[in-house]
């Protein structure tokens, strides 16, 4: 009997320490204790996929852990976005995405939950840009060297319709492209063809399935270098580092300027300690000179934005862009 009570006493002393250690492992220095799954909501080869794989090469998380990228494509990023949003908020499932597409799911009426504001924003790490391009087949056939040539051809051939490829439907790419087309006076010259990812849109352009396309700058460096893709216009207020010789919409008097802030997000209710661990590791990546040089060659600009600031910017973009989505929905 004495041995029994001695055992109970030992357990009573040891148990609190055991449970305290478990709590520390949950949110303390032992996080992460396994790899963090990072959902890429698009097909391989797009901007989000390129970004997360570049980050994976440089990121240093505690306990020698890293990211594991999992492509979950479908519905132009919505399927993977919802999977990440509905994941357990334990810090082991996050996603890479871009803010404006996440906003668009709610603004267009595709979803009733604003997952960008309801979920967790970990950090934004780069800025990407929408670029309107043609391909070398269309350029040779129609004599296009710049956006003025496209406008002239369309006005000279009012009865002909070509195709304009866009990543996603009812999202930022879609809205921005149509606003630019209207401003140029060529909206009715095109059928607007949505694709599920930047990679598939790029492939359609290479095969001349579409004669104009809107891709992000990070999705076209290789095909621009090969001469297969010919950038015509950047939807931005200032020229971008990866395409310094390409004019912007603002230069052409078109009041349509948007960027594609890309970063990392998680489900609602993530432990702030986990968010900080990941955000600190991402900040260190963004400060790394080698990463900066690599990412700029891929078409991005490194711009680290912390969680709180990113949330504030998201609310600004939500208010700024909503009127354009309301106009779209009326039609």
What is the per-residue pLDDT across 182-222, written as a single tens digit (0 to 9) for each?
A: 999 999 999 999 998 889 999 999 999 999 999 999 999 99
pLDDT number for residue 11: 37
Question: What are the strands of the beta sheet with 120-128, ordered from one edge?
Answer: 67-71, 36-40, 93-98, 260-266, 120-128, 301-306
- For 5-17, write each residue's pLDDT tens digit: 343 333 333 444 3
For residues 22 and 200, give the distance between their C-alpha atoms in angstroms, rounded to a whole number: 46
Q: Three-class SS of residue 196? A: coil
pLDDT number for residue 108: 87
- For 101-160, write each residue's pLDDT tens digit: 899 899 888 888 888 889 999 999 999 999 999 999 999 999 999 999 999 999 999 999
Contact present, 36 and 67 (Cβ < 8 Å): yes
For residues 261 and 312, give the distance between their C-alpha atoms in angstroms, rounded to a whole number: 13
> Which one of 3-17, 72-86, 176-190 scores highest in mean pLDDT?
176-190
pLDDT number for residue 286: 97
pLDDT number for residue 253: 95
pLDDT band at 331 (very low <50, low <70, confident <90, very high): low
CATH for the stretch 36-127+260-330: 3.40.190.150
pLDDT number for residue 306: 96
- Sequence ranges of the domains in the chain: 36-127+260-330, 130-234
Mean pLDDT lowest for which of 56-70, 142-156, 169-183?
169-183
Residue 328: is its pLDDT beyond 70? yes
More confident residue, 257 or 24: 257
Residue 53 burial by Cβ neighbours in a 10 Å radius (0-12, 13-18, 19+)? middle
> Average pLDDT over the chain, rounded to whole?
89
Residue 173: is its pLDDT beyond 70? yes
Mean pLDDT lowest for which of 11-20, 22-31, 72-81, 196-205?
11-20
pLDDT number for residue 14: 40
CATH top-level class of 130-234: alpha beta
pLDDT number for residue 37: 98
Of 221, 235, 243, 202, nearest in space to 298 by CA: 221
Are 36-127+260-330 and 130-234 equal in CATH topology? Answer: yes
pLDDT number for residue 262: 96
Residue 19: is its pLDDT beyond 50? no
More confident residue, 11 or 71: 71
DSSP secondary structure letter of residue 27? H
pLDDT number for residue 28: 54
Residue 172: is its pLDDT beyond 90? no
pLDDT number for residue 148: 98
Please give the radius of gyration of the chain, using alpha carbons only, rounded to the nearest integer.
Answer: 23
């Amino acid at each position: 009997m004495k041995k029994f009570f001695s055992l109970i006493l030992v357990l009573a002393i040891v148990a609190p320490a055991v449970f305290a250690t478990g709590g520390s492992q949950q949110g303390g220095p032992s996080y992460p204790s396994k790899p963090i799954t990072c959902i890429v909501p698009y097909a391989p080869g797009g901007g989000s996929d390129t970004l997360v794989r570049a980050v994976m090469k440089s990121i240093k998380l505690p306990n020698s852990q890293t990211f594991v990228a999992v492509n979950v494509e479908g519905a132009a990023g919505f399927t993977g976005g919802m999977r990440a949003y509905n994941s357990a908020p334990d810090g082991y499932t996050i996603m890479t995405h871009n803010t404006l597409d996440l906003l668009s799911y709610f603004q267009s009426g595709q979803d009733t939950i604003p997952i960008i504001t309801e979920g967790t924003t970990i950090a934004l790490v780069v800025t990407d840009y929408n670029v309107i391009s043609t391909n070398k087949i269309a350029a040779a056939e129609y004599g296009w060297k710049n956006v003025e040539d496209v406008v002239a051809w369309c006005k000279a051939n009012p009865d002909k319709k070509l195709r304009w490829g866009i990543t996603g439907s009812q999202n930022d790419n879609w809205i921005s492209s149509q606003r630019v087309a209207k401003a140029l006076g060529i909206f009715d010259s095109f059928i607007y063809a949505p694709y599920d990812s930047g990679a598939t849109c790029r492939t359609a352009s290479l095969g001349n399935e579409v004669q104009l396309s809107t891709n992000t700058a990070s999705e076209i460096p290789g095909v621009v270098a090969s001469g297969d893709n010919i950038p015509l216009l950047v939807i931005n207020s200032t020229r971008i580092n990866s395409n310094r010789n390409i004019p912007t919409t603002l230069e052409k008097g078109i009041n349509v300027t948007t960027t594609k802030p890309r970063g990392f997000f998680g489900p609602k209710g993530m432990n702030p300690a986990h968010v900080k661990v990941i955000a600190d590791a991402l900040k260190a990546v963004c400060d790394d000179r080698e990463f900066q040089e690599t990412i700029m060659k891929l078409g991005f600009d490194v711009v680290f934005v912390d969680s709180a600031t990113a949330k504030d910017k998201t609310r600004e973009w939500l208010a700024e862009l909503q009127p354009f989505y309301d106009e779209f929905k009326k039609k």
